[in-house]
């Protein structure tokens, strides 16, 4: 019960320490994205375009694992690439914000602005930002999802994604959390930040580095996306 109360408190107060969503003026940004093949051309999900955003990259490694020193940026990329494959297999079109360890630009501000331009490019139906969490209390564990607080549609989206992840990895469902982060605030399509687990928790840190757990995460995210766009059990 103490851990549950601690989680509730953290859910209210916690800002994911890895999130580095900066604001600023709007420069002219060069759009760099790619749509990958092959995909399932027989699926009714054709025509839906999903942006998969692997958080951080380059000099910004994000959170660091307490025991192993693994960087969040590398885990985000691994999960995002698996998510791309899963979504393509299900018939979605996928746009990646990054497909290697590099950032999108030399400065964090420009990097975020380029992500913004990809997210808000024409024809995008939903956006999934992949992150890993960190907190001062190592007991806190499990996935979280953040949506922009003033947008009910995004709350519904975040809850669907988080339900999918919790069901897939075998944890009790949780509430999604409101947050005022740059990408979820400026995104025109439904946009969620998925915090896959806590790199400050030893069990999460170990699990997040296994291929098996990463596959469960992406299947859960994809199930949540299906449910949001096409109804429960789609």
Q: In the structure encoding, which two tokens stand for residue 152, read together?
A: 């009910």
Question: Residue with the closest Cβ to Zn ion?
Answer: 18
Q: Least distance (Å) from Zn ion to the CB of residue 57?
A: 10
Q: Least distance (Å) from Zn ion to the CB of residue 130?
A: 9
Q: Least distance (Å) from Zn ion to the CB of residue 223?
A: 23
Nearest-angstrom CA–CA distance, 51 and 22: 19
Is 131 a binder of Zn ion (CB under 5 A)? Answer: yes
Number of residues that bind Zn ion (CB under 5 A): 4
The residue among 182 and 228 lying less far from Zn ion, judged by its C-beta, is: 182
The residue among 79 and 118 lying less far from Zn ion, judged by its C-beta, is: 79
The residue among 62 and 190 lying less far from Zn ion, judged by its C-beta, is: 62
The residue among 73 and 207 lying less far from Zn ion, judged by its C-beta, is: 73
Question: Contact with Zn ion (CB under 5 A): which of 62, 65, 179, 220?
Answer: 62
Question: Which residues between 67 and 96 bind Zn ion (CB under 5 A)?
Answer: none
Among the residue ranges 59-67, 91-99, 120-128, 204-212, the one whose residues contact Zn ion (CB under 5 A): 59-67
The residue among 98 and 131 lying less far from Zn ion, judged by its C-beta, is: 131
DSSP state, 96?
A: E
Is 190 a binder of Zn ion (CB under 5 A)? Answer: no
Question: Which residues between 38 and 57 bind Zn ion (CB under 5 A)?
Answer: 55
CB proximity list for 96: less than 8 A, separation 6 or greater: 33, 34, 36, 51, 52, 53, 54, 80, 81, 84
93 in Cβ contact with 3 (< 8 Å): no
Angle at CA 208, nearest 5°, toward 85 and 22?
Answer: 80
Indicate if the alpha-carbon torsion angle 117, 165, 147, 103 is positive or negative: negative
Query: Which strand (E) or helix (H) includes residue 145?
Result: strand 144-148
Summarize the chain as % helix, strand, coil (round to 5): 40, 15, 45
Is 189 a binder of Zn ion (CB under 5 A)? Answer: no
The residue among 126 and 194 lying less far from Zn ion, judged by its C-beta, is: 194
Nearest-angstrom CA–CA distance, 47 and 41: 10
Q: How far is CA 209 from CA 41, 68, 72, 75, in A?
A: 32, 10, 10, 7
Among the residue ranges 86-94, 123-131, 202-210, 214-222, the one whose residues contact Zn ion (CB under 5 A): 123-131
Q: In the structure encoding, which two tokens stand for residue 66, read together?
A: 């307490």
Contacts with Zn ion by CB under 5 A lie at: 18, 55, 62, 131
């Amino acid at each position: 019960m103490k851990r549950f109360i601690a989680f509730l408190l953290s859910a209210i107060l916690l800002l994911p320490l890895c999130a580095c969503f900066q604001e600023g003026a709007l420069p002219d940004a060069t759009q760099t994205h790619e749509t990958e093949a092959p995909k399932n051309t027989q699926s009714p999900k054709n025509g839906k375009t999903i942006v998969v955003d692997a958080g951080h990259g380059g000099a910004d490694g994000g959170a660091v694992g307490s025991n192993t020193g693994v960087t969040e940026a590398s885990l985000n990329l691994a999960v995002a690439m698996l998510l791309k494959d899963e979504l393509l297999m299900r018939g979605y079109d996928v746009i990646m914000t990054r497909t290697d360890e590099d950032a999108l630009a030399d400065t964090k501000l420009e990097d975020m602005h380029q992500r913004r331009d990809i997210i808000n490019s024409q024809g995008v139906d939903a956006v999934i930002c992949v992150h890993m969490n960190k907190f001062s209390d190592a007991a806190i564990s499990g996935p979280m999802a953040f949506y922009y607080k003033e947008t009910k549609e995004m709350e519904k989206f975040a809850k669907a994604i988080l339900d999918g992840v919790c069901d897939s990895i075998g944890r009790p469902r949780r509430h999604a959390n409101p947050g005022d982060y740059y990408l979820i605030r400026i995104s025109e399509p439904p946009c969620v930040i998925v915090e896959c687990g806590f790199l400050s928790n030893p069990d999460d840190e170990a699990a997040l580095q296994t291929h098996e757990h990463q596959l469960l995460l992406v299947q859960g995210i994809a199930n949540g996306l299906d449910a949001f766009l096409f109804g429960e059990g789609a």
